[in-house]
Amino acid sequence: MRKSVNRQSTPDVEENQEDKEPSFQELINIELIESGEKERLMELLRERLIECGWKDEMKALCRSFIKKKGRNNVTVDDLVHVITPKGRASIPDSVKAELLQRIRTFLMSAAL
Amino acid sequence: MSLPNEDSTSSTSDAQLNNIFGDLLDSIIVDVASECHRIAKLGLDRNFEEEEEEMRLSAQARVRVADPSNSSEANGKYLVDIFGQTHPPVANEIFECMNCGRTIMAGRFAPHLEKCMGKGRKARLKVTRSSTAAQTRHTRGNPGSTYSNYSNSNSTSRLPNGTSSAGGEEYSNGALEES
């Protein structure tokens, strides 16, 4: 049959047999999203990060990178790579602890 | 929903916690990066080019302030302001008064207007005289001017508004400015 469109053929059902069972991680993720808890956690984290000045630090990093590289040569991907290592490392411990606690609580309640 | 490994070791659940936290963090990082990218591309960051300029100017200013020979106080006759401009003590732009048509210096304009437009006694009489003069010019010989509420400084006994010449002291509105 001639294909008029270049399209990946849908994977056969047999190949998927092992993956049919969603992993624990995925189940949790689904539960998080469906209950709306993920959104709440994101808002909480966003708020805390703004309060402690983390967001401003990241924006300053971006701005200096953009100045160096030139406004029109920068992609979102570049900026993500600029921010990620510093961003992950400079989360205040209190913020991280608070979020982890909330997630733990959620996991407990979800597991019941 | 039945979850397998409910009593899994704490390390696994810690790993899960960190996974979830990392997931949230990544989303937020992408948001911040995307926002910065947008601001940069749209040129909305108004301070973008000014920052370096301002740093240089502030460094210059600091040098100037530290330099004692550039003291801004009583430098000769004039004071120097932060832009390095000097201002003479009396503003010296010259223009024309719209009321009397005289050429006036800007620094003397306010007192001039006071006299010219009517704070003082002489000003009010000046107004009277000029307006009555204008009125009588139009209405020839008819002394019925509505403006002459006050007597002319030259002749206090002259009656305004064509009232009868009987009452020497009477005035149409009873207001009299003693000259």
Task: Please state, in angstroms and rounded to a whole number, the distance separating the CA atoms of residues B179 and B170.
Answer: 16
Whether B24 and chain A come into contact, CB under 8 Å, resolves to yes
Instruction: List the 49-68 stretch of A: residues with Cβ below 8 A of B.
Output: 49, 55, 58-59, 62-63, 66-67
pLDDT at position B70 is 54
Distances (CA, A) of A103 to A7, A23, B1, B21, B26: 40, 18, 18, 8, 16
Q: What is the pLDDT of residue B73?
A: 52
- Token duo for residue B144: 């019925």
pLDDT in tens, B67-122: 665 555 544 556 677 787 877 777 788 888 888 888 888 888 888 888 888 776 66
Residue B32 contacts A where some CB pair is shorter than 8 Å: yes
pLDDT tens sequence across A12-63:
665 555 556 778 888 888 988 999 999 999 999 999 999 999 999 999 999 9
Report whether B139 contacts B145 (CB < 8 A). yes
Strand pairing category for B94-96 and B103-105 = antiparallel
In percent, how much of chain B has pLDDT > 90?
A: 11
Q: Show residues of chain B in contact with A59, CB under 8 Å.
A: 32, 35-36
- From the list B101, B87, B133, B36, the residue with the least C-alpha distance to A67 is B36
The CB density around residue A66, as the number of other CB atoms within 10 Å, is: 23
User: Is a pLDDT exceeding 70 seen at residue B15?
Assistant: yes
pLDDT on residue B179: 44
Do B13 and A32 count as a contact with CB atoms less than 8 A apart?
Answer: no
Contact B36 A87 (CB under 8 A): no
**Cβ-based contacts of B23 with chain A (< 8 Å):** 29
pLDDT above 70 as % of chain B: 50
Provide the token pair at B113.
């207007």
What one-letter code names the amino acid at B15?
A
Numbers of helices and strands, H then E, in chain B? 4, 2
Q: What is the pLDDT of residues B108-159, one digit of tens each?
A: 888 888 888 877 666 567 566 666 655 666 665 445 444 544 444 444 444 4
Question: A68: burial class by Cβ within 10 Å (0-12, 13-18, 19+)?
Answer: exposed
**B1 touching A (Cβ < 8 Å):** yes
Six-digit token string for B69: 């020979």
CA-to-CA separations, B36 to A48, A70, B42, B52, B155, in angstroms, rounded? 19, 13, 10, 19, 83
Q: Which amino acid is it at A51?
A: E
Residue B15 touches chain A, beta carbons under 8 Å: no
- On the CB side of B119, CA atoms within 13 Å amount to 6
Mutate to test the interface with A, among B1, B7, B17, B44 (most CBs of A within 10 A): B17
| DSSP codes, A19-85 | GGS--HHHHHHHHHHHHTHHHHHHHHHHHHHHHTTHHHHHHHHHHHHHHHH-GGG--HHHHHHHHHH
Which domains are delineated in chain B? 12-67 (no CATH), 86-119 (3.30.160)
Single pTM value for the model: 0.48
Question: What phi, psi does B78 have (nearest 5°)?
Answer: -115, 155
d(CA A98, CA A102): 6
Q: Residue B80's beta-bridge partner residues?
A: B86
C-alpha span between B124 and B128 (Å, rounded): 6
- Res A45: pLDDT: 95
ipTM of the shown complex? 0.79
Contacts of A91 in chain B (CB under 8 A): 25
